[in-house]
Amino acid sequence: MPPRAAAKATTAKAKAAPKKTSKAATKAATPTVEAETSDSEADDIPATKAAAPKKTAAAKKTAAPKKAAAAPKKAAVAKKPAAPKNTPAAKKSPKKATATSSDKENEDAVKPKANSKRKRAAVDEEEEADQESPEEATPPPAKKVRKTASPKAKKPAPEPKARRQLKAINEPPTTVLDVYVFGAGENGELGLGADKYDGKRPVDVKRPRINHNLKGRGVVQIGCGGMHAVALTNDNKILTWGVNDNCALGRNTKWEGGLRDMDAEEDDSDDDESGLNPLESTPGEVDMSEVEENTTFVQVVGSDSASFALTSEGKVYGWGTFRASDGILGFTDQSHEQKRPMLLPDLKKIKQLATGTNHVLALDDKGKIFAWGDGAQNQLARKVFEREILQSLRPVGIGNLPVRGAKPVKIACGSYHSFVLDSEGRVYGWGLNQYGQTGHRIDPDDEESKMQLKPKLVETLAEYKIVDIAGGEHHSVACTEDGKLLTFGRVEGHLLGLDEDVFNDNNTVFEEKNGEKLPHSLYKPIPFEDIPPVASVAVGVDNSFAVTEEGQVYSWGFSVGFQTGQGQTDDVEEPTLIDNTAIRGKKIIFAGSGGPYSVLASAAEEEA
């Protein structure tokens, strides 16, 4: 139930409560009066319920006709809360009864007064009784009825409540980062702006270069999308740069400018004009006009054409859109392209986000995992039918893990597949699996094995305690608690960083091509021997990174856009140390990669 609905229900109950109390009090008082009234009074006085509280217990039978005559007028007095007070007083003092009879006789001797005088007489009788009996100075228990009835008249209508701030369940990162970028950058993904800086062009960056536009901005965390990037700062701002075709940057980047001449000579370093949109290629603040006040962000992530931000309260905001094989799918079932951050109301108490090319996973504080986006390759762990395609845009739980009692602690995504790590270091994978990238062995001739619908334990990793995992388009990379580096999935293109002589029938699926037996996919990972202990891993589409415990970075795989940081366009066949003057001596603590670009980060120099 939405908070608003919950508040409405609470308000309804609060309004109803006083009425019940008031009726109960009235009902409780009435039988008491009737019990103390004589039988003859009950027969002769039909309006006694209104007048009874006045003097029923001590009244003489001869006075009954007078009461009956006055009953219609006394009905107006019955609402007066002093009525219950007289009943116990009559029991205690016979003297009061005498005084009362005398008053009545005097009243009858004269002509009956107006109703207001009768009210005053009744009050005088009560005051006289109070003065004559010191014991009655103590308020009788019946007075409590007055107190419970009193708030009913004074209680104002409930006012709408202001937004209640939820308890923080996530802490924002605090280490300020120096950010290094490399890659083609032809669409502003490097965030270096549109012009030369320090004599260097903002495109075709072959090796890591510090991003001068982020220096001093207090960046504490980075998320890499397909062709854009997102950064969170220590003053709670979100910066974005790169391609904004589908609103992935969450801000207006309309620019009346030129286009880069893609046919220009590649090594024309004298050309100051990059043709880049300066509003896209320069980090800028996301439009927060629809974000709730006092929101603190703790994590940002990017998919192919969308971005998401997690708050300290476990809420999730997002903007951009999801794409399917035939074009734009939409952002929600009500929004085609979301121009600025909007709250995703179905997600609460989320602890972690992870993104693939066009799908997202969210892990909540109870260990429940939600998935939404494009689900054509089973990456959402549920079947998506064409007639209900927009239902895939709503976050839905993936269900329990197949191992009883397993507690999810980490989520990760490949381009079209997904992973969960549990507290015991076990891995569960599902989604597109045509090269065994989920960790499950396939048969090239069996189409069903190329898709894994539900999370399934990866048996070939069971002997390891995995602490980090990441996926590309057709391969995946993981590292263990003791620092081992593992790869599995597609063999072709040097995605796994392994020599061909390690592939055999015990760990690899082979296929026949042109009469030749070739390795197709590695399903049983082989630990690397010549790399120092690894602390974390990152994967682009078809290139990979391993960050060691000492803060060094190794890369391998597809490098046509310099996304490996090795300064070459040929494939990097095996994990190779990235080493240049920009990062030499720095302790790298983050690596990330999109399509044709990559990012590294170290603690900022002033905090190192």
What is the pLDDT, as a whole number, of residue 259?
56
pLDDT single digits (tens) 335-390:
999 999 999 999 999 999 999 999 999 999 999 999 999 999 999 999 999 888 99
What is the pLDDT, as a whole number, of residue 57?
37
Amino acid making up residue 59: A
> 141 falls in which pLDDT band (50, 70, 90)?
low
What is the pLDDT, as a whole number, of residue 71?
39
What is the pLDDT, as a whole number, of residue 301?
99
pTM metric for this prediction: 0.73
What is the pLDDT, as a whole number, of residue 406?
98
pLDDT single digits (tens) 487-511:
999 999 999 999 999 999 999 999 9
pLDDT single digits (tens) 154-199:
444 444 444 567 899 999 999 999 999 999 999 999 999 999 999 9
Residue 592 near residue 224, CB atoms below 8 Å: yes
What is the pLDDT, as a whole number, of residue 165?
74
Distance CA 191, CA 340 (A): 20
What is the pLDDT, as a whole number, of residue 454?
98
Domains and CATH numbers, the chain: 21-154 (no CATH), 177-607 (2.130.10.30)
> 413 falls in which pLDDT band (50, 70, 90)?
very high
What is the pairing mode between strands 284-285 and 297-302? unpaired
Name the more confident of 131 and 227.
Answer: 227
What is the pLDDT, as a whole number, of residue 271?
57
Per DSSP (E only), the strands in 75-169 are none
- pLDDT greater than 60 at residue 565: yes
Q: Tell me phi and psi for residue 516, to 5 degrees.
A: -115, 140
Show Cβ contacts of residue 328 under 8 Å, excluding neighbours closer than 6 positions: 246, 321, 322, 336, 337
Instruction: Provide the mean pLDDT of the chain.
Output: 81
Q: Which residues pair with 512 in a beta bridge?
A: 517
> 49 falls in which pLDDT band (50, 70, 90)?
very low
Distance CA 405, CA 449 (A): 27
Among 123, 208, 266, 215, which Cα is nearest to 566's? 208
Residue 188 near residue 195, CB atoms below 8 Å: no
Provide the percentage of residues in the chain whose pLDDT is more than 70.
70
Write out the DSSP string of 403-431.
Answer: STT--EEEEEE-SSEEEEEETTS-EEEEE
- pLDDT greater than 70 at residue 415: yes
What is the pLDDT, as a whole number, of residue 274?
73
Show Cβ contacts of residue 168 under 8 Å, excluding neighbours closer than 6 positions: 296, 312, 313
What is the pLDDT, as a whole number, of residue 36?
37
Name the more confident of 141 and 426.
Answer: 426
pLDDT single digits (tens) 250-306:
999 999 876 555 555 454 445 566 789 999 999 999 999 999 999 999 999 999 999
What mean pLDDT comes out for the span 432-446? 95
Distance CA 458, CA 523 (A): 10
Q: What 3-state class would DSSP assign to 40?
A: helix
pLDDT single digits (tens) 20-40:
344 333 333 343 333 333 343
Per DSSP (E only), the strands in 192-269 are 205-210, 219-224, 228-233, 238-242
